C-alpha cells in the first residue's frame, strides 16, 4: 500500500509546485516517524521474500520495471519537467540513463555478488572457502531534487538488484516524481510491490528514516545535510553512503581541441540551469589556449536562451533559495575583482548564462558549490598549475580534462583528486553503468553504479567448510608441542627468502 492518500486528510501536507508557473503539481502527506517506521516495517517484511527470489527472478522483475519506465518515459519526463522546471528533453535523457542503470544492475548482480569459491591458502588447505555478498535488508534512500529520477535510481536499482528492499524519501521539492517511481514499481512488479516504498515530507521525515533501523542509508544532497544525516545514523550505528556536492573543474591543456572544450564546458556548466552535482563550475585554461577558449565560450553562451517555453536551453532554478546562492557568489566574485563577460543577471528564478573571468581562488564562486548556470575561467601557466588548483578544493566529485595527448590526459585524469574524470568530454562516466559513481573529500564517500555500487548495498559473507581433517589440528588445544616450530619452518621456507 502506498502511504499517500489514506491518512493525508488528517495530517499536514506538503504542496509541490512547478518552478516555472507556480502551478500546483501535487499535494503529499508529511509522514512522521510512525509512518516511516511502518513503511520500513513493510519493506522489511517484503525484503525476505525479495532476497529469496534469487538473482534471476529479481532480474526478471527489474526488467519489467525498466520496461514500464521506458514505455512511460514521456509521462515521467513530463512530471520531472513540471516539478523541476528542466526542459522535457533533458528529463527524457535523465529517464534514459536511469533505465540503463536498472538494466545493468539486474544483469550483473549475479556475477558480482553471487557465491564464489576462493583459494583457501596454505593454512586452511583442507577447507573449502566461499565468498558471497548478502543484502542488508532495507536500504533507506534520501534523494535531492535536481535529478529526481537518475540520482535516487543510482541507489534504488543497485540496492534492489542486490536483494534489498528500499524506502525512498524524495526531496520535498520533487515528491511527485518519487511517488510516481514507487507507484510504477507496484504496478510493474505486483508480487513484490512492497519491496519499494516511498515516504514524503521534508527534513524531519528524512531524519526519521535515518533513525528507523534501516540496514544502510544512501544519502544524496549537500555536505551540510550529509553531516546531519551521518550524526542521526550514528545513533543506531546505521552505515551511510554519502553522495554530496561538487565544485568540478575542467582543465584545458595547450594542445586541446578548444572548440570542443568550449562546447563541453558550456553544456557541463549551463545544462539543467547548472543544478548538476557533476556540472562544470570552473575552468583552468593554459595561457596557450586561454584567449581562444574564452572567446569560444562567450560566443556559445550568448546564443543560449534560458526560459520556460519550448526550445529553452534550460529552465528556472528549481528552488528560489538557490537563485540567492548564485546571486551571492556573483556579488562576491565581482567585489573581489572578477569580471562578467556574459550574463550576470538574476531575475526571479531565471539566471542568465554567466561567464566570469579573473575571479580570485578565494572567492565563493571558485571555492563553494554555486549550483547555477555560471562558469569561472582562470588563466594558468600550464596543466600542472591547473591540476594543483583543481585539487586544492575540498570537494572532489568529478572533473574533465581536454588534451589531444592521450598519455598526458590520462595522467592528469588519474591525478585529479576526484571520484570521476572525463577526458575530452564532460559527465560521460555517469552514462557508463559499469563505472562507479561517487566522490572524495567534501563530495562524500561510497559508490553507486557498477560492481562497486552493487557491493555497496551488501555485506561480504565468508564461509569455510572443512573438507577433511588434518592429522595435526593447529587450532586445537590438542596440538603437539612441536607444532609451532614446524609451522615456523614452513613459514621460513615459503616467505623467508623475500627481502
Alpha-carbon dihedral sign for residues 16, 152, 416, 286? negative
Among residues 100 and 172, whose Cβ is nearest to ligand NDP?
172
Lookup: cell for 69: 519506465
CA–CA dist 335, 167 (Å, integer): 45
Q: What are the Cα distances from residue 250, in Å, to 167, 334, 352?
A: 36, 22, 21
Return the biggest CA–CA distance within the chain: 85
The CB-of-325 to ligand NDP minimum distance in angstroms stands at 10
Structural contact between residues 119 and 414, judged by C-beta atoms closer than 8 angstroms: no
The CB-of-318 to ligand NDP minimum distance in angstroms stands at 9
Among residues 229 and 266, whose Cβ is nearest to ligand NDP?
229
The CB-of-439 to ligand NDP minimum distance in angstroms stands at 6
CA–CA dist 346, 349 (Å, integer): 7
The CB-of-129 to ligand NDP minimum distance in angstroms stands at 36
Among residues 94 and 243, whose Cβ is nearest to ligand NDP?
243
Active site residue 233: no
Lookup: cell for 293: 577558449
Which DSSP string corresponds to 133-199?
A: EEE-SEEEEE--SSSTTHHHHHHHHHHHHTT-EEEEE--TTSHHHHHHHHHHHHHH-GGGGGGEEE-
Question: Among 277, 281, 368, 369, which one carries the catalytic annotation?
Answer: 277
Label the pairing between strands 458-466 and 127-135: antiparallel
The CB-of-105 to ligand NDP minimum distance in angstroms stands at 16
The CB-of-25 to ligand NDP minimum distance in angstroms stands at 15
Q: What are the Cα distances from residue 417, in Å, to 129, 227, 444?
A: 37, 21, 13
Count other Cβ atoms within 10 Å, centred on residue 441. Answer: 18
The CB-of-146 to ligand NDP minimum distance in angstroms stands at 5
Active site residue 277: yes
| CB-based burial label for 194 (10 Å; 0-12, 13-18, 19+) | buried
The CB-of-90 to ligand NDP minimum distance in angstroms stands at 14
CA–CA dist 248, 262 (Å, integer): 15
Q: What are the Cα distances from residue 477, in Å, to 127, 153, 474, 481, 483?
A: 20, 53, 8, 10, 11
Among residues 211 and 415, whose Cβ is nearest to ligand NDP?
211
Structural contact between residues 326 and 283, judged by C-beta atoms closer than 8 angstroms: no
CA–CA dist 260, 425 (Å, integer): 8
What residues line the site for ligand NDP (CB under 6 A)?
A: 142-147, 151, 169, 171-173, 202-203, 206-207, 210, 220-222, 225, 228-229, 232, 243-246, 277, 369, 371, 397, 439
The CB-of-203 to ligand NDP minimum distance in angstroms stands at 3
Among residues 403 and 443, whose Cβ is nearest to ligand NDP?
443
Among residues 144 and 450, whose Cβ is nearest to ligand NDP?
144
Among residues 222 and 424, whose Cβ is nearest to ligand NDP?
222
Among residues 58 and 395, whose Cβ is nearest to ligand NDP?
395
3-state secondary structure of 452: helix
Among residues 173 and 329, whose Cβ is nearest to ligand NDP?
173
Question: Among 83, 172, 243, 369, which one carries the catalytic annotation?
Answer: 243
Residue that has been written with the C-alpha cell 536511469 in this structure: 98
CA–CA dist 169, 251 (Å, integer): 36
Alpha-carbon dihedral sign for residues 270, 156, 445, 216? positive
Active site residues: 243, 277
Amino acid at each position: 500500500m502506498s502511504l499517500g492518500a489514506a491518512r493525508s486528510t488528517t495530517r499536514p501536507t506538503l504542496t509541490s509546485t512547478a518552478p516555472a508557473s507556480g502551478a500546483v503539481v501535487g499535494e503529499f502527506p508529511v509522514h512522521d516517524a510512525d509512518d516511516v517506521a511502518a513503511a520500513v516495517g513493510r519493506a522489511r517484511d517484503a525484503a525476505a521474500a525479495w532476497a529469496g527470489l534469487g538473482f534471476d527472478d529479481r532480474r526478471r522483475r527489474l526488467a519489467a520495471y525498466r520496461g514500464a519506465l521506458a514505455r512511460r518515459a514521456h509521462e515521467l519526463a513530463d512530471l520531472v519537467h513540471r516539478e523541476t522546471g528542466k526542459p522535457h528533453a533533458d528529463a527524457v535523457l535523465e529517464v534514459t540513463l536511469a533505465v540503463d542503470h536498472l538494466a545493468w544492475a539486474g544483469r550483473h548482480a549475479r556475477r558480482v555478488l553471487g557465491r564464489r569459491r576462493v583459494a583457501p591458502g596454505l593454512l586452511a588447505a583442507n577447507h573449502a572457502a566461499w565468498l558471497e555478498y548478502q543484502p542488508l535488508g532495507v536500504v533507506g534512500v534520501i534523494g535531492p531534487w535536481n535529478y529526481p529520477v537518475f540520482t535516487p535510481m543510482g541507489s534504488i536499482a543497485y540496492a534492489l538488484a542486490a536483494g534489498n528492499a528500499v524506502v525512498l524519501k524524495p526531496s520535498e521539492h520533487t515528491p511527485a516524481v518519487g511517488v510516481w517511481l514507487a507507484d510504477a514499481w507496484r504496478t510493474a512488479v505486483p508480487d513484490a510491490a512492497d519491496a519499494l516504498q516511498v515516504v514524503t515530507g521534508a527534513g524531519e521525515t528524512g531524519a526519521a528514516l535515518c533513525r528507523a533501523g534501516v540496514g544502510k542509508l544512501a544519502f544524496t544532497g549537500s555536505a551540510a545535510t550529509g553531516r546531519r544525516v551521518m550524526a542521526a545514523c550514528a545513533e543506531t550505528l546505521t552505515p551511510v553512503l554519502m553522495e554530496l556536492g561538487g565544485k568540478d573543474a575542467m582543465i584545458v591543456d595547450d594542445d586541446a581541441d578548444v572548440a570542443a572544450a568550449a562546447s563541453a564546458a558550456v553544456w557541463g556548466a549551463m545544462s539543467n540551469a547548472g543544478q548538476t552535482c557533476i556540472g562544470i563550475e570552473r575552468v583552468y585554461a593554459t595561457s596557450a589556449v586561454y584567449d581562444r577558449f574564452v572567446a569560444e565560450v562567450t560566443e556559445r553562451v550568448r546564443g543560449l536562451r534560458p526560459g520556460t517555453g519550448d526550445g529553452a536551453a534550460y529552465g528556472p532554478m528549481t528552488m528560489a533559495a538557490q537563485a540567492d546562492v548564485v546571486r551571492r557568489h556573483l556579488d562576491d566574485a565581482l567585489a573581489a575583482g572578477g569580471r562578467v563577460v556574459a550574463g550576470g543577471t538574476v531575475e526571479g528564478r531565471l539566471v542568465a548564462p554567466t561567464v566570469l573571468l579573473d575571479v580570485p581562488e578565494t572567492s565563493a564562486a571558485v571555492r563553494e558549490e554555486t549550483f547555477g548556470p555560471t562558469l569561472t575561467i582562470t588563466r594558468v601557466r600550464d596543466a600542472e598549475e591547473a591540476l594543483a588548483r583543481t585539487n586544492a578544493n575540498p570537494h572532489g566529485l568529478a572533473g574533465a580534462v581536454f588534451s589531444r595527448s592521450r598519455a598526458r590526459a590520462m595522467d592528469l585524469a588519474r591525478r585529479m583528486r576526484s571520484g570521476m574524470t572525463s577526458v575530452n568530454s564532460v559527465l560521460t562516466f555517469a552514462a557508463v553503468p559499469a563505472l562507479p559513481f561517487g566522490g572524495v573529500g567534501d563530495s562524500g564517500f561510497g559508490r553507486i553504479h557498477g560492481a562497486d555500487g552493487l557491493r555497496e548495498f551488501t555485506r561480504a559473507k565468508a564461509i569455510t567448510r572443512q573438507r577433511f581433517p588434518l592429522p595435526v589440528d593447529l587450532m586445537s588445544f590438542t596440538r603437539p608441542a612441536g607444532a609451532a616450530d614446524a609451522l615456523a619452518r614452513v613459514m621460513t621456507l615459503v616467505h623467508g627468502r623475500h627481502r
